Amino acid sequence: MIACCNLHCKVAWFHYQCTFPPITEPPQGDWYCSPACEEAGAYVYCFCHKNTGEELIQCARQSECHFKEYYHRHCVQMRPFPDNGQFISSNCPK
C-alpha cells in the first residue's frame, strides 16, 4: 500500500492497483493521489515539513499526536529507533 503525502487526504492509503494510473513499484520521493492533494501543501512529514529521505516513525498516539503523527528521528533527538517501532514524544499528552 501507499500513502498520499497530504496529511489531510480523505482516503490517505491506497492499494498500488487502486491508484490512477496504477503504480507497480514504490515511487521515488513524494506521492500524491491527486493534483488537489499535491497543491494543498499539508505534508504528512514531521513538524519540520521536509522530505529528507530519512525513515519516518509514527507516534503511538497517532491522531492525538501534536507532531502530525510522523516525524524524523533527528527532529525528536532519538537514536536509535525503539525496537517495537513505536515512539511517544515527551510533548504528547499521556
What type of residue is 3? A
Work out the angle at residue 19's Cα, subtended by the Cα atoms of residues 13 and 25, and round it to the nearest 5 degrees. 90
Nine-digit cell string for 44: 504528512
Give 8-60 pLDDT, tens digit per residue: 889 988 999 999 888 888 887 788 999 998 888 777 777 776 666 677 777 77
- Both 36 and 74 in one domain: the answer is no
- Both 10 and 49 in one domain: the answer is no
Whether residue 94 has pLDDT greater than 60: no
Domain count, the chain: 2
Nine-digit cell string for 13: 492509503
Model pTM score: 0.53
- The residue segments making up the domain with residue 76 are 45-94
- Both 20 and 64 in one domain: the answer is no
The C-alpha atoms of residue 72 and residue 52 are separated, in whole angstroms, by 9
- Both 66 and 49 in one domain: the answer is yes
- Both 38 and 75 in one domain: the answer is no
